[in-house]
């Protein structure tokens, strides 16, 4: 274990915490693998009733670490990021997100696979996929239009502008905005309430709420294939080069 993902299980609740605060909890491939392993083990452990996902310091996660992303591109279905997506999307027990700050890319799309989500007032959400010359992921092109409608989904995914916790609440991405000092207390209370419920009934209710699991899995796979293709594009090369050169990308020649 790298220490970049910290897990704890207590009173039937698994907590998975992204723990790379010096990089705003930007996700490495090793972090995806560790988080996926923790969730997979919890899915098979009858003593675990609920999972909580959160971050450290002022960030939930800044999304993919671009340097690591380029060095370890997710070009096949077994890539750690894709395995994490499948594991969370199919996790049979309730998942609660405690969004303690910045939530970029997968930090926002993973909320579509959580059952409850709570965020601090200063949380910032961002879906910048098209901005960096790739495509949206984690079935967001399927689930986000269902949640917020096609027009708002297009606004979020095509314009790729940051938005606030207030907007996330109005869109239905989160359940409530909670003061930073109260966030984990509130989440622990919700987790305890869920953990006390009949587990089989809870799992079945979650499955019914989630709907067509095959459709979601197919969309994730389709998006992942598109992401892998985009990683070899000239547009993505320009976006990545501009990021490391700390300049705005120039897409006028494409």
Per-residue pLDDT, 76: 85
Per-residue pLDDT, 1: 58
pTM greater than the 0.85 cutoff: yes
- Give residue-wise pLDDT tens across range 90-134: 999 999 999 999 999 999 999 999 999 999 999 999 999 999 999
Question: 159 to each of 100, 127, 142, 151, 185, how far by Cα in Å?
Answer: 24, 9, 17, 11, 35
Topology adopted by domain 1-180+199-254: 2-enoyl-CoA Hydratase; Chain A, domain 1 (3.90.226)
Residues of the chain with pLDDT under 50: none
Are the C-beta atoms of residues 107 and 129 closer than 8 Å to each other? no
Per-residue pLDDT, 2: 72
Tokens of 46: 């009858």
Measure the CA–CA gap between 22 and 203, rounded to whole angstroms. Answer: 36
> Which are the contacts of 28, defined by CB distance < 8 A and separation ≥ 6?
2, 4, 20, 65, 68
């Amino acid at each position: 274990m790298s220490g970049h993902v910290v897990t704890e299980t207590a009173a039937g609740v698994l907590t998975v915490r992204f723990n790379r605060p010096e990089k705003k909890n930007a996700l490495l491939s090793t972090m995806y693998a560790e988080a996926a392993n923790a969730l997979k083990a919890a899915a098979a452990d009858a003593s675990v009733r609920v999972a909580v996902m959160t971050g450290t310091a002022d960030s939930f996660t800044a999304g993919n670490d671009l340097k690591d992303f380029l060095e370890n591109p997710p070009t096949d279905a077994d890539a750690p990021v894709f395995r994490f997506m499948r594991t969370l999307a199919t996790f049979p027990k309730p998942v609660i997100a405690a969004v303690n700050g910045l939530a970029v890319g997968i930090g926002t799309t993973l909320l579509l696979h959580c059952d409850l989500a709570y965020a601090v007032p200063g949380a910032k959400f961002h879906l910048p996929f098209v901005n960096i010359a790739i495509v949206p992921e984690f079935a967001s092109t399927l689930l986000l239009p269902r949640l917020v409608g096609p027009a708002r989904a297009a606004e979020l995914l095509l314009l790729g502008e940051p938005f606030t916790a207030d907007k996330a609440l109005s869109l239905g991405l989160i359940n409530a905005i909670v003061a930073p000092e109260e966030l984990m207390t509130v989440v622990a209370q919700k987790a305890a309430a869920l953990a006390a419920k009949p587990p089989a009934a809870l799992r079945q209710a979650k499955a019914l709420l989630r709907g067509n699991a095959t459709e979601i899995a197919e969309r994730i796979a389709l998006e992942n294939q598109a992401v892998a293709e985009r990683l070899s594009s000239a547009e993505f090369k320009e976006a990545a080069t501009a990021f490391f050169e700390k300049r705005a990308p120039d897409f006028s020649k494409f």
